[in-house]
Amino acid sequence: MNSTTYIELGFWQKLQSDSSKEGIRSQLEISDVLEDSKVITDIPIELIQQDEFLQNLLLKEQQPTPCDTNYISKKVNGLNNDSSIEDLCATYMLASTATACNYIEKEFGVIALCAESIHNRRNLFVGDGIDMYRNIPYPHRYDSFKDKLANPCNSIIIIDPYIIKKKMVDSEGCVSFPGLTNNMESLLDAIIPNQLKIDFHLTIISSLDNPDDIKRAYEKFKKCLKRIKKELSFKLCIVYTETGYNPDIESFHSRHVLSNTFSIDSEDGLDIFDGRGYITKNNPVISIVFPRLLGDCRKDFTKSINWIASVKKHIQEAPDKFICGVKDNRLFDLVD
């Protein structure tokens, strides 16, 4: 399955009219984006045939799907909880202002670009990385890197076999999960938007000291999300799995965060901060990539789809006692 990109004629006209070095660079980067994307556009076929760049860009093995001039704007204006996964994971290149595109991103967690602001969104094409160092306190933990981690999204799947494995019981018998308190809370605060007009889907797969703790962990996550994202409506699922290597889930041991717009990989895991905000690993690197927008998106998108498929299969086959919450995640609709 290819990612979908909606392109309005006005977007392309504005972008093409910019003959500066930055404008040409953006055109070339977008051509990489669209190479493996399913393109739906209101650019007339006659114009495509007259424009050599558009012709090379769009008239490939997979022909662009033409639509009428109001189709894409109606599609954007009609986004809601019942919209297809294709539309809620799509990239929108619109003949709109930066303010209007920003509104769409904040309300629906999708990527919406206009020609004027695309130069400032270069991270969507090249990805990024965050270097962290031992012996340096990060009192805000993942929130310290919110400028890099915060991106539009409406669905997330997280796998880390150790992130909430250990629990603590204080002298009064109160149970807590240090992985949630020291790491997951700040990570979720950094990557989940503050507001959406649609439900946010969140699936977390991890192991626990005791699988019977899954309901307790679920309630702790619910309280955490209500505290840090009180404006959002969540469909949350916590899934217990065995510690360490799990052959049912592709590249399970390499910790992942996958959303409808970006992914995060961390070979050192996501539980990297202690209670004081110090790094517990040896200078870990968090990699942020955008599988729907990277130039080599065929490789990245296929990898993401295979990973989602293995997660979906695992959840469908897992015993009910190992699952707490809503099993469905809209990202599962990307795979058969």
Nearest-angstrom CA–CA distance, 300 and 206: 24
The residue from 121, 155, 172 where one domain ends is: 121
Name the average pLDDT for the chain. 84
CA distances from 91 to 64, 88, 213, 222 (A): 15, 9, 39, 30
Same-domain check for residues 224 and 319: yes
Same domain? For 182 and 60 the reply is: no
Could you tell me which residue, 280 or 200, shows the higher pLDDT?
200
Structure tokens at 312: 């979906």
| Last residue in a domain, options 101, 121, 141 | 121
Check whether 73 has a pLDDT greater than 50.
yes
Q: What is the pLDDT of residues 92-121, one digit of tens each?
A: 999 999 999 999 999 999 999 998 888 888
Q: Do 147 and 285 lie in a common domain?
A: yes
Question: Domain limits at 213?
Answer: 127-334
Is 9 in the same domain as 73? yes
pLDDT value at residue 58: 64
Are residue 177 and residue 205 in the same domain, yes or no?
yes
Are 40 and 151 members of one domain? no
Higher pLDDT, residue 18 or 189: 189
* Each residue's pLDDT tens digit, 23-58: 888 877 777 667 667 889 998 888 887 877 677 666
Confidence at 79, pLDDT banded by 50, 70, 90: very high
pLDDT above 90 coverage of the chain, percent: 38
The pTM of this model reads 0.89
Same domain as 241, residue 151: yes
Split into its structural domains, the chain has a count of 2
Q: Are residues 31 and 114 in the same domain?
A: yes
User: What per-residue confidence (pLDDT) applies to 225?
Assistant: 97
172 and 228 in a single domain? The answer is yes
pLDDT reported for residue 64? 74
2: pLDDT strictly greater than 70: no
Helix (H/G/I), strand (E/B), else coil: 206: strand
Same domain, 307 and 197: yes
Shared domain for 147 and 103, answered yes or no, is no
The residue from 88, 121, 154 where one domain ends is 121
Helix (H) or strand (E) holding 257: strand 255-259
Same structural domain, 164 and 64: no
